[in-house]
Amino acid sequence: MFELSSSVGSVTAVLQAGGDVRTPATEFEAIFRVFLVLGVLVGVVVLVYMTYNAVKFRAGGPNTAEGDADRPRLGELPTGSGGGRKLFLSFGLSAVIVLSLIAWTYSSLLYVEGDPPGDDALDVEVEGYQWGWAFTYPNGYTDSTLRVPADRPVRLTLTSRDVFHNFGVPELRVKADVIPGQETDAWFVAEEPGTHTINCYELCGAGHSYMSADLVVMEPDAYETWYAGTDNSSEGSEPDGNETTSANGTTTANATLAGVLP
Ligand SMILES: [Cu+2]
């Protein structure tokens, strides 16, 4: 009983803490917290009950006196009491908790997999290549740094120029396969201005470890000003396959990688 009420309590607390904007980050955070709380709770109950019984029925203790009349004999089946009510209750309760968790988690995942809320999402096309990222905005401008406004959903359409890659920004809980000849999508909301690192999470060749880019989250006004200044051309450092580390600018790595390119 106490497990059920605390789990319901923590679910509601987490959902309320998420505020009114549900983003992939808040969804995954909620799933993580609920499973952490429930896991700890079940673990503590099991360990405490086990320790209690181990101490109570320890060898030589008051509950193990010789000649105990209630002690079962070898081969004797326990008859139990209460017509299996305890068993039914524990199985029933567990089933309710497990099924609710499955339903709730699955609905969260469907929400994350679906379209971003509202109709003001920024659309950016992402192309992964060996070894870097190219971001194309609605006006056709292409850049190797992803700039987005804070507090506004960003919808990414991802594809690859060559081999399998995987686009990921751990802080924003966004991760998506990047596959040649195929388009995948993902979305996120970056609530605060700042800089995050985009990495490739699919081993894709010698330059895989250097396949990173910056995600710059800007104040909405600053973003609009920057975006108005872009045209449908490409930034100077737009990749031609030999540039791999524009994000962190390690030229030695560039030179090394240029040597392994066909
Ligand atoms: Cu890659």
**Percent of the chain whose pLDDT exceeds 70:** 75
Q: Is pLDDT above 70 for 189?
A: yes
Kindly state the average pLDDT of the residues 21-25: 87
Domains of the chain, start order: 2-59+90-113 (no CATH), 122-260 (2.60.40.420)
Q: Is pLDDT at 158 greater than 50 in this prediction?
A: yes
First-to-final CA distance of the chain: 65
Ligand 1: centre distance to CA 70 (Å): 67
Give 179 Cα–ligand 1 centroid separation in angstroms. Answer: 10
For the purposes of burial, counting CB atoms within 10 Å of the CB of 48, is it exposed (0-12), middle (13-18) or buried (19 or more)?
A: exposed
Is the pLDDT reported for residue 29 higher than 60? yes
Average pLDDT value for the chain: 81
Predicted confidence (pLDDT) at residue 204 exceeds the cutoff of 50: yes
Q: What are phi and psi of 222, to 5 degrees?
A: -60, -35
How many Å lie between the centroid of ligand 1 and the Cα of residue 244? 11
Q: Is 235 exposed, middle or buried (0-12, 13-18, 19+ CB in 10 A)?
A: middle
How far apart are alpha carbons 77 and 202 in whole angstroms?
55
Which residues make up the environment of ion ligand 1, defined by Cβ < 5 Å? 165, 200, 204, 211
Burial class (CB in 10 A: 0-12, 13-18, 19+), 201: middle
Residue 153 tokens read as: 């959903």
Residue 65: per-residue pLDDT: 58
CA 201 to ligand 1 centroid distance, Å: 7
The answer to whether 145 touches 216, Cβ cutoff 8 Å, is yes
Question: At 70, is the pLDDT very low, low, confident or very high (cuts 50, 70, 90)?
Answer: low
pLDDT band at 67 (very low <50, low <70, confident <90, very high): low
